[in-house]
């Protein structure tokens, strides 16, 4: 694991505490990204984050191994209900719009896809203590990109946060209108997820 401090443009600091061991060049790069932005910019305006220039094969293996350790043998529905995999409101809205679906089964399907991922394509810094890792299935390289990050759960253990879903060659926002306008049940589901995340 890596633990080091970065300083943002406004001199605010953040401790990076990630599951992988970063190389010195990567630490320098993350600190350089932080120095160019306010933390709020990276978290809100830069929704896609800033890519690291590289991630090593060993680091990729660490991400997949750690992911598998957390979720192996647990059904997708239980992973969702027990918040072992957390789905952010932003992720839910965006992914559901992109794949033209609007129910709990869709999110469970996405979690099953996360379970099946076996490679990492890139790492991104988004202004949080842990980085985001874009995962894929090796046998389906043209399939969904599934960015995940590892965050601390309520029990003091690592859980997985599913950040966004981006099917390739799809114009996501143009596919349909807001899901809250097309399906009231979906709006209620997303509101419940939002309450969970806010601790209400």
Rounded to an integer, what distance in angstroms lies between the CA atom of residue 12 and that of residue 93? 30
Task: Read off the DSSP letter of residue 154.
Answer: T
157-180 pLDDT, tens per residue?
Answer: 899 998 754 444 433 333 233 333
Rounded to an integer, what distance in angstroms lies between the CA atom of residue 8 and that of residue 33? 8
Strands (E), 8-93: 13-18, 50-51, 85-87
40-57 pLDDT, tens per residue?
Answer: 988 876 567 899 999 999
pLDDT value at residue 125: 96
Instruction: Enumerate the domain spans of the chain.
Output: 2-198
Length of the chain: 200
Task: Read off the DSSP letter of residue 136.
Answer: E
127-157 pLDDT, tens per residue?
Answer: 999 999 999 998 887 778 889 999 988 878 8
Which of 13-27, 104-118, 166-180 is predicted most confidently? Answer: 13-27
For residue 19, which of 164, 165, 160 has the smallest C-alpha distance?
160
């Amino acid at each position: 694991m890596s633990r080091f401090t970065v300083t943002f443009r406004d001199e605010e600091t953040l401790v990076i505490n990630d599951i992988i061991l970063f190389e010195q060049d990567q630490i320098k790069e993350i600190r350089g990204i932080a120095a160019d932005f306010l933390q709020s910019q990276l978290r809100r305006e830069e929704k896609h984050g800033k890519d690291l220039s590289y991630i090593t094969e060993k680091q990729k293996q660490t991400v997949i191994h750690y992911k598998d350790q957390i979720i192996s043998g647990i059904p997708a529905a239980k992973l969702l209900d027990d918040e072992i995999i957390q789905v952010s409101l932003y992720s839910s809205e965006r992914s559901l719009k992109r794949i033209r679906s609007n129910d709990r089964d869709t999110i469970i399907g996405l979690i099953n896809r996360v379970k099946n991922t076996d490679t990492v394509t890139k790492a991104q810094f988004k202004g949080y203590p842990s980085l985001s890792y874009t995962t894929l299935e090796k046998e389906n390289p043209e399939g969904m990109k599934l960015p995940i990050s590892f965050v601390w759960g309520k029990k003091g253990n690592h859980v997985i946060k599913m950040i966004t879903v981006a099917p390739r060659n799809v114009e996501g926002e143009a596919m349909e209108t807001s899901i809250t306008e097309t399906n009231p049940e979906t709006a209620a589901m997303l509101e419940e997820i939002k309450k969970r995340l806010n601790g209400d």
